[in-house]
């Protein structure tokens, strides 16, 4: 598997976990001290912060998500990915459908086992 395919698989594992409501599958793709810098939200650090942020979303909605890689640069054991995210959230309480989309930068680092783990997630919502 190429490095591109490995990074793509890590992103897909995150999205599959989100879509199926499996928060532990999501955090398995992350470094223990992953940092998230999401638009209009405080910066968070650590996998517990991922759980705290995403569990309420998972409980509130049926989610489908996707990501298109626009650019991938690898610098030794660090990879920087930019692209577009998109998805749907069908709210369980109301049936309303939201369609989040925007740009995203992810940074991955190889761990001691050779697996790529997300260390940084930066997004902005709106048109790409």
| C-alpha closest to that of 103 among 127, 76, 79 | 127
CA–CA distance, 25 with 16 (Å, rounded to integer): 8
At 128, the pLDDT band (50, 70, 90 cuts) reads: low
pLDDT at 82 over 90: yes
For domain 3-125, give the CATH number.
3.10.450.50
The per-residue pLDDT for 125 is 80
At 41, the pLDDT band (50, 70, 90 cuts) reads: confident
pLDDT top residue among 29 and 40: 29
Q: Could you report the per-residue pLDDT of 51-64, keeping only the tens digit for each?
A: 999 999 999 999 99
């Amino acid at each position: 598997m190429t490095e591109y395919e490995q990074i793509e698989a890590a992103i897909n594992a995150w999205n599959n976990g989100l879509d199926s409501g499996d928060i532990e599958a999501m955090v398995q793709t992350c470094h223990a001290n992953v940092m998230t810098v999401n638009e209009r939200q405080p910066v968070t650090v650590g996998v517990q912060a991922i759980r705290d942020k995403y569990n309420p979303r998972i409980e509130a909605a049926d989610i489908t998500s996707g990501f298109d890689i626009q650019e991938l640069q690898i610098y030794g054991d660090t990879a920087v990915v930019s692209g577009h995210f998109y998805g749907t959230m069908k709210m369980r309480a109301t049936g309303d459908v939201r369609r989040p989309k925007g740009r995203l930068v992810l940074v991955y680092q190889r761990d001691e086992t050779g697996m790529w783990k997300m260390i940084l997630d930066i997004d902005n919502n709106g048109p790409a």
